[in-house]
Amino acid sequence: MNTTRGVVLALGSVLLVSSAQLGMRWSMTRLPAPLQWLGSLPNLDIAALLVLGGAVLGYALSMLCWLVALNHLPLSRAYSLLSLSYALVYLGAAWLPGLGEPLNLSRTLGVGLVIAGVMLINTPRAARPATDHATPPAPTERP
**Model confidence at 38, in pLDDT bands (50, 70, 90)?**
confident
> Region 123-137: what's the mean pLDDT?
65
If you average pLDDT over every residue of the chain, what do you get? 88
Higher-scoring residue by pLDDT: 63, 134? 63
Residues in the chain: 143
| Model confidence at 92: pLDDT above 90 | yes
| Model confidence at 127: pLDDT above 70 | no
Residue 28, judged by CB atoms within 10 A of its CB (0-12, 13-18, 19+), counts as middle
- pTM for the whole thing? 0.79
| Model confidence at 142: pLDDT above 90 | no
* Furthest C-alpha separation in the chain: 100
pLDDT at residue 121, rounded to an integer:
85
59-83 as b/e, with b when 16 or more CB fall inside 10 Å? bebbeebbebbbebbeeebbebbbe
**Dist CA 22 CA 28 (whole Å):** 10
**What phi, psi does 21 have (nearest 5°)?**
-60, -45
pLDDT at residue 80, rounded to an integer:
87
Q: What percent of the chain has pLDDT over 70?
A: 87
